[in-house]
């Protein structure tokens, strides 16, 4: 019961606890990851790229209405694009001699 009367001591977090661990995406640093992603996205047709960007920005519903698509069709197309990008990324990583982590 006495312990409940005592004020709790607050522990300070060390700076190391706050830092994010480095990304291990194909063992690339953040700058190389951006270049890699840009190369993969650059291989998409314009319409698919615009669709994907609208979806990522949260503007997918408006984009699908403008394109005459149902929301479910948009989600399916975005899913298929994602699968193609993942396949492209793994092929490019294997081709460059990098190992996936």
Q: Tens-of-pLDDT digits for all 101 residues of the chain? A: 566 666 666 666 555 555 555 556 667 788 888 888 888 889 899 999 999 999 999 999 999 999 999 999 999 999 999 999 888 877 766 765 554 44
Q: Which segments of 1-101 does DSSP mark as H helices, in order?
A: 2-5, 15-18, 30-42, 46-56, 60-67, 71-95
Q: Does the predicted TM-score (pTM) go above 0.85?
A: no
| C-alpha radius of gyration, the chain, whole number | 22
Q: Are 51 and 74 spatial neighbours (Cβ–Cβ below 8 Å)?
A: yes
- Cα-to-chain-centroid distance, residue 46: 20
Identify the pLDDT of residue 76: 95
What's 19's DSSP letter? Answer: S
Closest CA to 61 of 46, 78, 45, 44: 78
């Amino acid at each position: 019961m006495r312990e409940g009367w005592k004020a709790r001591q607050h522990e300070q977090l060390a700076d190391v606890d706050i830092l994010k661990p480095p990304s291990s995406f194909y063992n690339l640093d953040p700058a190389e990851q951006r270049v890699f992603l840009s190369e993969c996205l650059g291989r998409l047709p314009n319409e698919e790229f615009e669709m994907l960007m609208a979806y990522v920005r949260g503007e997918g519903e408006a984009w699908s209405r403008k394109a005459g698509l149902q929301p479910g069709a948009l989600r399916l197309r975005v899913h298929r694009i994602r699968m193609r990008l993942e396949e492209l990324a793994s092929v490019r990583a294997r081709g460059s001699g990098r190992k996936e982590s």
